[in-house]
Amino acid sequence: MTKKITINFSVNGDRETREAVVGQTLLKFIREELHLSGTKEGCEIGECGACTVLLDGKPVNSCLVLAVELDGKELVTIEGLSKNGELDRLQQAFVEKFAFQCGYCTPGMIMSAKALLDRNSDPTDEDINVALSGNLCRCGAYQEIREAIKASAKK
């Protein structure tokens, strides 16, 4: 029998009560239950960062968190950044600096970068390297990603 647990949480500012299947990852829950497909599935072992989301303001690999652990927490996904159809300035900076090619890593990159800028409004290259150490880009857009983050920080 599949066991379910009722969880209360907020997602991108909205309060929700849902049933989560025990054993389901937060990543699957976000994509398949909340139908927010911006968060990507990559390696599923915490090495690529494509699934990065903010849990209580901190970036985590949603593939390494259980959906039931969301209870009582605040979740922000890439969908939570734009307001009224307008990209936020970090997203806009990624567009302006061509900070992606295929775009698969981009939601995770932006969530890690957002968490960095929330705690450090003027990051150095080293700060950016550490904050994004868990996000891989197979197209190799790292240089542009760093520029986009710096450009966003300056605004």
Partner 1 sequence: MLSYDYVKCSDLKQAFDVLKTNEHALPLAGGTDLMVGMRGGKFTPRLLVDIKGLEELKVLKEDDAGITIGAAVTLNQIALFEPIVRHAAPLAEGAHSVGSYPIRNRATLAGNLCNASPAADTAAPLYSLGAVIKLIGPNQERSMPIEEFFLGPGKTALQKGELVRSILIPKPYPAGKGVYMKASRTGSVDLSTVGVAVQNWDGKVRIAVGAVAPTPVRALAVEKAINEGGEKDWAKAAKLVHDDISPITDLRGSREYRYHIAEVLVRRGLEQTVGV
Binding site for partner 1 (CB under 8 A): 2-3, 5, 21-25, 28, 44-47, 49, 52, 55, 58-61, 63-66, 68-69, 71, 112, 129-135
DSSP letter, residue 56: T
Which of 54, 148 has the CB closer to partner 1? 54
**What distance in Å separates the CA atoms of residue 10 and residue 117, rounded to the nearest whole number?**
22
Report in angstroms the alpha-carbon separations of 82 from 78, 79, 110.
8, 7, 12
Closest approach of partner 1 to the CB of residue 142, in Å: 12
Q: Quick check: 50 and 107 in contact, CB under 8 A?
A: yes
Which of 65, 99 has the CB closer to partner 1? 65
DSSP string for residues in 57-100: TEEEEGGGSBGGGGTT-EEE-GGGT-BTTBPPHHHHHHHHTT--
Which of 95, 107 has the CB closer to partner 1? 107
Which of 13, 23 has the CB closer to partner 1? 23
Report in angstroms the alpha-carbon separations of 9 from 6, 13, 16, 64, 121.
10, 10, 6, 18, 28
Closest approach of partner 1 to the CB of residue 86, in Å: 27
Closest approach of partner 1 to the CB of residue 49, in Å: 7
Which of 21, 151 has the CB closer to partner 1? 21
- Residue 68's nearest CA partner among 10, 17, 6 is 6
Closest approach of partner 1 to the CB of residue 37, in Å: 18
Closest approach of partner 1 to the CB of residue 118, in Å: 13
